[in-house]
Chain A
Amino acid sequence: MTRLIVGPFNRVEGDLEVILDVADGAVREARVKSSLYRGFEQILQGKAPLDALVFVPRICGICSVSQSAAASQALASAMGIKPPDNGRLAANLIQASENVADHVTHFYLFFMPDFARDCYKSQPWWHATSGRFKAVTGSAAGDFLPARAGWMRAMGLLAGKWPHTLTLQPGGSTHPINASERLRLLRVLREFRAFLERITFGDTLETVAAITSANELASWAERHAGSDFGLFLRASQALNLRALGHAGVAFMSYGAYEQPNGRWWPAGVWAGGPALLDPTQIAEDVSHAWYADAEAPLPPQRGSTLPIADKDAAYTWCKAPRLGGEVVETGALARQLVAGHPLAHDLVARDGGGVEARVVARLLEVARLVPAMETWAEALRPGEPFSVAGELPAEAEGMGLVEAARGSLGHWLSIRRGRLHNYQIIAPTTWNFSPRDSAGRPGALERALVGVPVGEGEKAPASVQHIVRSFDPCMVCTVH
């Protein structure tokens, strides 16, 4: 048995190491190590509750809006208020802007450059992928970066500044969008749609969103081999990425995008079939993380975060959240499964949901979200309220559950004597990259890496890189 330490990883947000025990040419056990801790939960104690809206976005520069959305919902639940229609639509648009940007950034800057690796030089598609996606020099960055900068004007129009937007408040949005801003917003949406349809997909978003099965996807890929998504599917098929990186656990989604009667993509659990999500079943185990132990895993509403530097069993700063004691995977694939999209169902029924299914689900979401954003923007009513006022009680509890690009994000807070008494955060990658729990059950990525072949003398196997990045990890969110 040999031990391999892969990391620090580049092209992920934040610091990450993966420790692999290899025997007989394959990974036998994997341990995921998050090596960065800042102490947001400690810092937030005793602060003015509304100041959480300024603190929490700084957990992460890439999903700052999701953090801000979770905080505003947690505060809104403590205050017992609900944004008006315009506020709801603005929040959906702001969150969707970030989630689309994150998905596309992951695809272009973080995930695809792995196909430009020299180890794939003998593949017939290597010239295409390396010319297009090689980090820094590939031609795709030149197409993508200006499109992304253009897309972010939507965030400017809706929310002023990004990263670290301040516009989302418990009662709605601070920014009443006027008729001319709405018009400009629609133009930004149209321009980005053009980029996606011309370059990313080479097809209309509606056609991509309407693909219902793995077979249909394969034949679509043959007809659109020149598009960036087509190029991914070609490489993925050649490398059999569909068979790589299954975690073999249930999928969870908190549900995303508020509608007048619930969320567009509903909350739930998928474990071979649909199940209801009960948030009170969530608890965090710290047996293998550098935190002071509790007698039993604590639900986040009563959670604690006390770092201790010396702990024998610990190997990471990441806690191990569990749903009813079980490991779950979260992310775009989980969201589309729970929301009942037939392509997500077919991919998971066929291969269980590995590297390929995760990447496909992300691009599927992009194809579904941009048209939805067009409808939301049309539905805005300039002149009508974007926000309601509310009073902050001196004693209260609050919970905010949202879906970030990378998966389920929850904030739990309690207010005592008008100040924050406790504030606990569970981020998507905390779920996906969690360490072992007290029963020894490995987290989702730790499972997904088991059995991966490692060649003689290989230091950082490409397959390991694909699996890790297929989760689109955000390490700065994971540990905050």
Chain B
Amino acid sequence: MTETFYDVLRRQGISRRSFLKFCSLTATSLGLGSAYAPKIAHAMETKPRTPVIWLEGLECTCCSESFIRSAHPLTKDVVLSMLSLDYHVTLMAAAGHQAEKQLEEIKKKYKGNYILAVEGNPPLNEDGMFCIEGGRPFVEILKETAADAKAVIAWGACASWGCVQAAKPNPTRATPIDKVISGKPIVKVPGCPPIAEVMTGVVTYMLTFDRIPELDRQGRPKMFYGQRIHDKCYRRPHFDAGQFVEHWDDDAARKGYCLYKMGCKGPTTYNACSTVRWNDGVSFPIQSGHGCIGCSEDGFWDKGSFYDRVTDIKQFGVEANADKVGGTAAAVVGGAVVAHAAVSALARARNQTGIDVPKEGDK
């Protein structure tokens, strides 16, 4: 008899009522609408439970740290029991040889049916000796475990892009996992770390619907990485109005002005920080007065200083129309973001008759 998620939940003593509540919360958090709640419930009651194997390579454990701190009600009941992280090095009970044996058993028993979640990445220099686990290079363990997985989740910037250890000169040749795993669907969930609710959301989606979420062309789930930080930033009106912080804790900082001149990478970063936020939705870097460093973008370590302002914005997305209107202004002002600020301000001012168009004096 195959075991379903619902069976596991009930065994953990979770009531039917809590279960249904969880289903509607999941539907909402995934942006699916409440009509999806019964579908999630049905899937959980009928689909066999999918085990998750969680491996850690060259990394700092920040992804696990973020994950276990999810404030979402799912964490306690769902993440730790229902999702059943059958193999998680930092959290599980077994150790050493016993743990290795456990990994082999899960791989055999659920061959082709488990999800592999990877935190960190394999270093390839010196035959992989910069990351040895149980006497073997991590890259070997990774390849073997991926071979029989149904799908792979790349947690964080490390697994997705290489992250800090791959910053120049990348002494260990730390390599993103999609460069060493082939023939498997890989979902990239970048960020350093990713937001807890985004992590639980992605896992829950995959386990419930037994398919990977819709991805963008870089392999990130569209539902969480479809918009720039800048698009939903609460300081955006100040950007549009040309009001900027110039020094930490200056008068403009106290008024909550835009951090673009302090090096904020929000205009070029796709992530959900400005909507989902961090630590139980309390805040996010921009709200704490520091610019975004663009940690969910490929190669963000090697794009110049984090405290230099962005000058090379390629994607304009939602502002396409405004930019067309202000095309000449862009050429005159130079830096694309600056142009975009001026143009947005112009567009706003047009709708409010009688207000002077603010001058964007910055370069």
List the interface of chain A (C-beta within 8 A of B): 5-15, 17, 35-40, 42-43, 48, 50-51, 53-55, 58-62, 64, 109, 113, 116, 134-137, 141-142, 145-146, 148-150, 152-153, 155-167, 169, 171-176, 307, 309, 317, 385-387, 389, 459-460, 465, 476
CA distance A229 to B172 in the complex (A): 42
Chain A neighbourhood of B347, CB < 8 A: none
Q: How many A-B pairs fall under 8 Å by CB?
A: 240
> Contacts A61-B65, A163-B193, A174-B288; is A389 near B247 (CB within 8 Å)?
yes
CA distance A158 to B288 in the complex (A): 7
Chain A neighbourhood of B331, CB < 8 A: none
Chain B neighbourhood of A148, CB < 8 A: 68-69
CA distance A459 to B81 in the complex (A): 29
- Smallest CB separation, B25 vs chain A (Å): 15
Residue pairs across A and B with Cβ atoms less than 8 A apart, 18 shown, are A8-B134, A10-B95, A38-B164, A43-B167, A48-B307, A53-B306, A54-B293, A60-B62, A61-B59, A61-B64, A109-B91, A136-B93, A149-B70, A152-B280, A160-B290, A161-B273, A161-B279, A175-B288
Stretch at the interface among B27-35, B108-116, B124-132, B212-220: B124-132
Of all chain A residues, the one with the shortest Cβ separation from B262 is: A174
- Smallest CB separation, B160 vs chain A (Å): 14
B216-263: which have CB < 8 Å to A?
Answer: 247-249, 253-254
B165 near A38 (CB under 8 angstroms)?
Answer: yes
Which of the residues A38, A157, A173 comes within 8 Å of B174, measured between beta carbons? Answer: A38
Given contacts A35-B131, A164-B62, A386-B249, 16 further A-B contacts (CB under 8 A): A10-B99, A12-B90, A15-B131, A36-B130, A37-B131, A39-B170, A42-B171, A51-B306, A58-B62, A146-B71, A159-B288, A160-B283, A163-B65, A174-B248, A175-B290, A176-B289
Tell me, yes or no, whether B305 is within 8 Å of chain A by CB: yes
B307 near A11 (CB under 8 angstroms)?
Answer: no
A136 near B91 (CB under 8 angstroms)?
Answer: yes
- Smallest CB separation, A164 vs chain B (Å): 6
CA distance A152 to B280 in the complex (A): 8
CA distance A385 to B288 in the complex (A): 15
Which of the residues A136, A172, A389 comes within 8 Å of B81, measured between beta carbons? Answer: A136
Tell me, yes or no, whether B61 is within 8 Å of chain A by CB: yes
Chain A neighbourhood of B75, CB < 8 A: 145-146, 149
List the interface of chain B (C-beta within 8 A of A): 58-66, 68-71, 75-76, 80-81, 85, 89-99, 123, 126, 129-135, 163-165, 167-172, 174, 192-193, 247-249, 253-254, 273, 277-280, 282-290, 293, 295, 301, 305-307
CA distance A160 to B293 in the complex (A): 13
Question: Chain B at the A interface: mostly helix, strand, loop or mixed?
Answer: loop
> Contacts A40-B164, A61-B61, A387-B248; is A50 near B282 (CB within 8 Å)?
no
- Smallest CB separation, A52 vs chain B (Å): 10
Chain A neighbourhood of B123, CB < 8 A: 37-38
> Contacts A161-B288, A162-B278, A172-B249; is A476 near B61 (CB within 8 Å)?
yes
CA distance A35 to B137 in the complex (A): 10
- Smallest CB separation, A470 vs chain B (Å): 15
> Contacts A156-B283, A159-B288, A162-B278; is A176 near B63 (CB within 8 Å)?
no
CA distance A40 to B248 in the complex (A): 27
Chain A neighbourhood of B285, CB < 8 A: 160-161, 166
B278 near A15 (CB under 8 angstroms)?
Answer: no
Chain B neighbourhood of A8, CB < 8 A: 89, 95-96, 99, 133-134
A61 near B60 (CB under 8 angstroms)?
Answer: yes
Which of the residues A171, A309, A459 comes within 8 Å of B96, measured between beta carbons? Answer: A459
Chain B neighbourhood of A171, CB < 8 A: 248-249
A153 near B164 (CB under 8 angstroms)?
Answer: no
A38 near B89 (CB under 8 angstroms)?
Answer: no
Chain A neighbourhood of B131, CB < 8 A: 15, 35-37
Of all chain B residues, the one with the shortest Cβ separation from A11 is: B90
B248 near A169 (CB under 8 angstroms)?
Answer: yes
> Contacts A9-B95, A166-B293; is A58 near B192 (CB within 8 Å)?
yes
A61 near B193 (CB under 8 angstroms)?
Answer: yes
Chain B neighbourhood of A175, CB < 8 A: 288-290
Of all chain B residues, the one with the shortest Cβ separation from A468 is: B95
B80 near A62 (CB under 8 angstroms)?
Answer: no
> Contacts A14-B61, A61-B61; is A51 near B66 (CB within 8 Å)?
no
Which of the residues A54, A142, A145 comes within 8 Å of B306, measured between beta carbons? Answer: A54
A162 near B279 (CB under 8 angstroms)?
Answer: yes
CA distance A175 to B75 in the complex (A): 29
Which of the residues A7, A38, A50 comes within 8 Å of B134, measured between beta carbons? Answer: A7
CA distance A385 to B247 in the complex (A): 12
